[in-house]
Structure 1
Amino acid sequence: MSFPPEPWYLRGTLVLSVFRVPRRLVRDEHLPAGTRLITLAGNAFVAVAFVSYEPGGVLTYEELLVATPVWDRGAVAVSVPQIWVDSEASRLGGRELWAIPKQLARFGEGSSIAGVAVTGGVPLPGRWKVAGRVVQRLDGRDVRAHAAMSGRVRLVRAGWMFPVGGPLGYLTGRTPLVSLAMDDMRLTFGQAP
């Protein structure tokens, strides 16, 4: 199985919610040396996103990920402690290129990882853009990659279901601080050759 070279250009939609979680519950073995979670009053911030990458990008697949804001080399970055995809090419590429701990999963009704239902939607004006670094450690290897995303954003209500015994059980019963959806999302991930 092969995967596209970096950078990856992807298109699609996403739903993202941010949760406040006690620091002691948030994993950190994925952080490079010297990198630390950003915390406030003993809590970390955990973003959970479901992404559907659609035709028009280098790969087409679905993804569920957890991301945490971190301090790295004097700047804010993002790190991904948990992530699942339904594409072997994405799994291999994420691990080999950027040390992202992608695992294979099936999504849909009956998922043992998570489920989400989205309602409402208040569109925010314009096209939103965000860019920054993603920092990872996997199998003793530290990797820092660049990511840039843009799209049309809506504030939404997202109802997440995290099975108590599942890998995201530490989020069971928690209410998001904020939830948003991004349509016509464009993502560039990784360095140009």
Structure 2
Amino acid sequence: MRYPPEPWHLRGSAVISVFRVPRDQVPGDHLPSGARLLAVAGNVFVAVAFVTYEPGGVLSYDELLVGTPVWDRGSLAVSIPQIWVDSEVSRTGGRELWGIPKQLARFGQGSSIAAVSAGGGVPLPGRWKVAGPTAQRLDGRDVRAKAAVSGRVRLVRSAWLVPAGGPLGYLTGRTPLLSVALDDMHLTFGEAS
């Protein structure tokens, strides 16, 4: 299956929530050799995001992902233990280019993975930008890449519906510590060959 070459330039919006989860409940088989999850008092801060990538980027699709902070090669990085997309092209490209364990899913009413609603919103001034490395292991291959995201940030109240028996069951009943909406989002993932 053909997919765009890196880097991928994507546009869209996202709702991102941060949860505190006991270390032993967070998947760890996605970590490359030498990387370790960052834990504070036995807990990991897990970011869960629902993202809509819109026309204007190299692909358009929806995505649900989990990101965890890791210590890798002497610096902070992000690793993605779980991620679902509704695009076969995105799934194949993410897996082959960057070792991201993308799986296919359908989103919307009746999703067996998760659903989120976000309301209100206190806009923060300016445009925010975050950049840094990712660190992944998939199918015995360690892959590191660069990512940069920017957008307008709003503090929101979110409610996540996570089935207890689903793949994100470790989040069932947990309240986010912080939730933001990211509007007019621009994401660049990977490097030019």
TM bucket (normalised to shorter chain) is over 0.9
Paired residues for 1:43-122 under 5 Å = 43-122=43-122
> How far, CA to CA, are the matches of 1:70 and 1:177 in structure 2?
19
Gap regions ≥5 residues in structure 2: none
- What TM-score do you get using the length of structure 1 for normalisation? 0.99
Amino acid at match of 1:167: P
* Number of aligned residues: 193
Amino acid in the other structure paired with 1:12: G
| One-letter identity of the residue aligned with 1:141 | R
The corresponding residue for 1:3 is 3
Distance in 1 between the 2:179 and 2:192 partners?
Answer: 31
Aligned to 2:139: 139
Distance 2:115 2:98 in 1: 26
**1:40 aligns to what SS in structure 2?**
coil
Aligned partner of 1:144: which letter?
R
SS in 2 for 1:154: strand
> 2:127 aligns to what?
127
Shift of 1:22: 0.4
Corresponding residue SS for 1:116: strand
User: Unaligned stretches of 5+ in structure 1?
Assistant: none
Cα deviation code 1:80-133 (max 9, x no counterpart):
000000000000000000000000000001100000010110000000000000
Deviation at 1:8, TM superposition (A): 0.1
Residues 142-179 of structure 1 show CA distances to partners (whole Å, capped at 9, x for unaligned) of: 00000001000000001001000000000000010100
1:188 maps to what in 2? Answer: 188
Matches within 5 A, 1:165-180: 165-180=165-180
**1:13-50 CA-partner distances (Å, limit 9, x unpaired):** 00000000000000111000110000000001110000
Q: Distance in 2 between matches of 1:76 and 1:134?
A: 9
In structure 2, C-alpha distance between the alignment counterparts of 1:166 and 1:127, rounded to whole Å = 35
Q: Percent identity between the aligned chains?
A: 75
- What SS is found at the alignment partner of 1:58? coil
Normalising by the residue count of structure 2, what TM-score does the alignment of the two structures yield?
0.99
Which stretches of structure 1, 4 residues or longer, exceed 6 Å deviation after superposition?
Answer: none
Corresponding residue of 2:151: 151
Q: CA RMSD in A?
A: 0.4
